[in-house]
Structure formats: C-alpha cells, structure tokens
Amino acid sequence: MENNMAPHTFVAYVEDKPGVLNRVASLFRRRTFNIESLTVGHTDQAGVSRMTIVVDTDDLGARRVEANLYKLVNVLRVDDVTAQPTVERDLALIKVAARNGKRAEIMQLVDVYRARIVDVTNDSLVVEITGTEDKIESMVDILRPFGIIEMVRTGVVSMTRGAMAPSANPPLVAAMIPEAALN
C-alpha cells in the first residue's frame, strides 16, 4: 500500500453467530489493515447482522479487504460503497461544561448544528449530534473551548442512496477482477 491511501467504506452482511465479530476483527489485524471505525447491529432479517467498516487503504488494498472478507465463511455479502452515493451517519454524545452563564451560548450553537440537548445539570450539558463525521468534528471543535468533559461516538454507519437494495447474488467475481487490467 502506497501513496493513494484514503478511507474506504465497506458494508458487510454477516451471519449473527458467536465469534463473527472476532473473525472480522482478527482478519484486519492479521492482514495489517487499520480499522478507522467498525459498527455492527441487527438488520431487518433474523440471523443477519450488518457491519459498516471504514478502512484507510489504497484501491488494491480495498480489493484485498473485500476478497478477504468474502473468504470468511460467516460473511454473506460485502459492498465497497466508497465510490457510491451514500448516506453516512455518525452519532456522538458530548458532555460539555456549561458554567458561568455559558449555557445559552452553547444552546445557540447546538441549534445551528441541528443537534439536541439530551441532559442538563447546573454546570454541564449533554449534546446529541448525528451527521457526517465532518459535521461532528466541526461541532466538537466549536465546543472544545467550553471544556469537553466526556465524549462518545458510535462510528460511521452507511447506506447507499436510492431504491437499490443489496441483491441476493452479489456480483462477486466482477468485484474480484482488478480494474486496471491491460494498461
């Protein structure tokens, strides 16, 4: 992996069985791919979980990630959605200090970001924000001068736009063919 490193986003459907998360995480560790974020949750289908995995790698590395994920017996389907139009969301809870009459100022900023206040005490607020990673990072930067006491983020979840749903038979082999064939 060389110069053109960039975040690649994969959506993986996996069997909901014990140890599957470990298998996926172990794969990334073993092949020395660095996970930027990994989220996992149920889908509308019983027995199937959905992972959104963001990996910093180049294009060839992304193909290898995809191929190696497919090699895991419990992985049902993998989509590299990096180049597709997607809705990407991250959720953060930010506990911020709100002393000395700063509360109103913070609430104004929260409003600008269309975030929400979900907890209030005499000297703190908990802000809930959903959005792209950029938006959340921007909010964090704005709140930092007030004093961030604690923060938690879910990591990115991602879904392609439009009516297209993942088909039952993915174009697996096409995805395995190097794009730069025959220069």
Given the rule CB under 8 A, which residues bind another protein? 14-15, 18-19, 22-23, 26, 30, 60, 63-64, 67-68, 70-77, 172-174, 176-178, 180-183
Compute the least distance from the CB of residue 70 to another protein, in Å: 7
How do the residues of the chain divide into helix, strand and coil, expressed in percent and rounded to 5? 30, 40, 35
Residues 172, 57: Cα–Cα separation, whole Å: 20
Instruction: Name the amino acid, one letter, at 137.
Output: E
Residues 149, 42: Cα–Cα separation, whole Å: 31
Residue number, 69 or 125, with CB nearest to another protein = 69
Residues 15, 73: Cα–Cα separation, whole Å: 9
Residues 108, 142: Cα–Cα separation, whole Å: 12
Compute the least distance from the CB of residue 66 to another protein, in Å: 9
Residue number, 7 or 170, with CB nearest to another protein = 170
Compute the least distance from the CB of residue 86 to another protein, in Å: 23
Residue number, 19 or 85, with CB nearest to another protein = 19
Residues 101, 88: Cα–Cα separation, whole Å: 35
Residue number, 43 or 132, with CB nearest to another protein = 43
Compute the least distance from the CB of residue 175 to another protein, in Å: 8
